[in-house]
Amino acid sequence: MDINLPLILMVAVVATGAIWLLDALLWAKSRRAAAENVEQQYAHLPSHERPGDPGYRVAMQKAAKEPLVVEYSKSFFPILAIVFVLRSFLIEPFKIPSESMVPTLEVGDFIAVNKYAYGIRLPVFRTKIIDLGDPVRGDVVVFFPPHEDRYFIKRLIGLPGDKIQIRDNVLYVNDVMLEQELVGADPVDRHGGACWGDYQIVNEAIDDKKHLVRKCPTGGRGWNDRTWTVPEGHYFMMGDNRDNSLDSRVWPDPFVPDKNIVGKAFAVWMHWNEGLPSFGRAGGIK
């Protein structure tokens, strides 16, 4: 299971904010009382002379000193709160860990995900509170699969009510074959998979969008000659590296519920897998 960073961040924000609030309401009073006591102890000195008195300075610093946990909480709370709001409601960064979305996304790509494209959701709980839009076919989506609690990224192929079919290694949506235009062979030696012949890069059209797909031209996969009907409130996901992707075709429960949607991936902003970071792949995601 991946580290639940949203939960950790929320706990950190709540904890530091609570400490700051408790200090303002309770603990600061005792420090003010101690400071007033020091003032009374040095009442024999004129007020303009007290700051120059070593005893007064030491006593006042001791009386007014915040506990370390309060000092750290006041310093970190604003930063943590800003990061929490940005990541939870606006844009969240992710790093691509696998080849399942090749050639669209490579291992080591750092992507930006729009968290409000499909509505505002409560962080951690994933409950939608404001409906701003719905996923559409062809979107590259970050989500939690139905069978485990870690982030996945795939392309949305089927909407609620859609009929998804694979026949002879050809993909159909609602009985319409998705057109594929050959771009060329994939010369890169990648991990996993077995293909009788060279892998191909094709330009696939879904509705009014086109995107690149890596596929084996021959059939024989276990998901060939199968049909799925997407239930209401769910989606069917597939990787662009079609023959090397664990997605809706092979999951025990093939459909991703709407509550598991995290956001829409819209840009690559950096690539860093080995060596130095680079920005040569920076740009929008098709």
Residue carrying structure tokens 């530091």? 16
Q: Which residues, 6 or more positions from 104, have their beta carbon under 8 angstroms from its beta carbon?
A: 140, 155, 211, 212, 240, 285, 286
**Beta-sheet strands, E only, within 106-198:** 109-114, 120-121, 128-130, 140-143, 152-158, 163-167, 170-173, 176-177, 180-185
HSE-up (13 A, CA, CB side) for residue 192 = 11
pLDDT tens-place string over residues 85-135 = 999 999 999 999 999 999 999 999 999 999 999 999 998 888 999 999 999
Q: Percent of the chain beyond pLDDT 90? A: 78
Task: Tell me which of 25-29, 170-174, 215-219 is least confident.
Answer: 215-219
Contacts (Cβ under 8 Å, ≥6 apart) of 93? 110, 111, 112, 113, 269
At residue 14, the pLDDT reads 96
Instruction: Check residue 103 and give left, alpha or beta (phi > 0: left; psi -120 to 50: alpha).
Output: alpha
Of 100, 115, 245, 248, catalytic: 100
Catalytic annotation on 100?
Answer: yes
The chain-wide mean pLDDT, for the chain, equals: 92
pLDDT class for 219, splitting at 50, 70, 90? low
Confidence at 1, pLDDT banded by 50, 70, 90: very low
Domains of the chain: which residue ranges? 5-90, 96-284
- Minimal CA–CA distance to 200: which of 169, 154, 156? 169
Amino acid at 205: A
Give φ, ψ of 104 to 5 degrees: -65, -45
Tell me the C-alpha distance between 133 and 68, whole Å: 45
Q: For 249-269, how does the pLDDT look when each residue is reduced to its tens digit (9 = 90+)?
A: 999 999 999 999 999 999 999
The string of DSSP codes covering 218-274 is S---TTSSEEEEPPTTEEEEE-SBTTS--STTTSSS-EEEGGGEEEEEEEEEEE-SS
pLDDT tens for each residue of 153-205:
999 999 999 999 998 878 999 999 999 999 999 877 776 666 777 889 999 99
Q: 83-117 burial, b for 16+ CB within 10 Å, e for fewer?
A: ebeebbeeebebebebbbbbbbbebbbbbbbbbbb
pTM: 0.86
The secondary element (H helix, E strand) that includes residue 212 is: strand 209-215
SS3 at position 59: helix
35: its two tokens: 């400071």
CATH entry, 96-284, from 3.40.50.300, 2.30.110.10, 2.10.109.10, 1.10.10.10: 2.10.109.10
Q: Is 48 exposed, middle or buried (0-12, 13-18, 19+ CB in 10 A)?
A: exposed
Taking only the tens place, the pLDDT of each residue in 222-239 is 567 899 999 999 999 999
* Catalytic site includes residue 278: no
pLDDT for 221: 61
Catalytic-role residue among 154, 215, 248, 264: 154
Q: What is the pLDDT of residue 2?
A: 64
- In sequence order, which ranges of the chain are alpha helices (DSSP H)? 5-22, 28-41, 54-64, 68-85
- Report the alpha-carbon distance of residue 98 to residue 105 in Å, rounded: 9
pLDDT at 195: 75
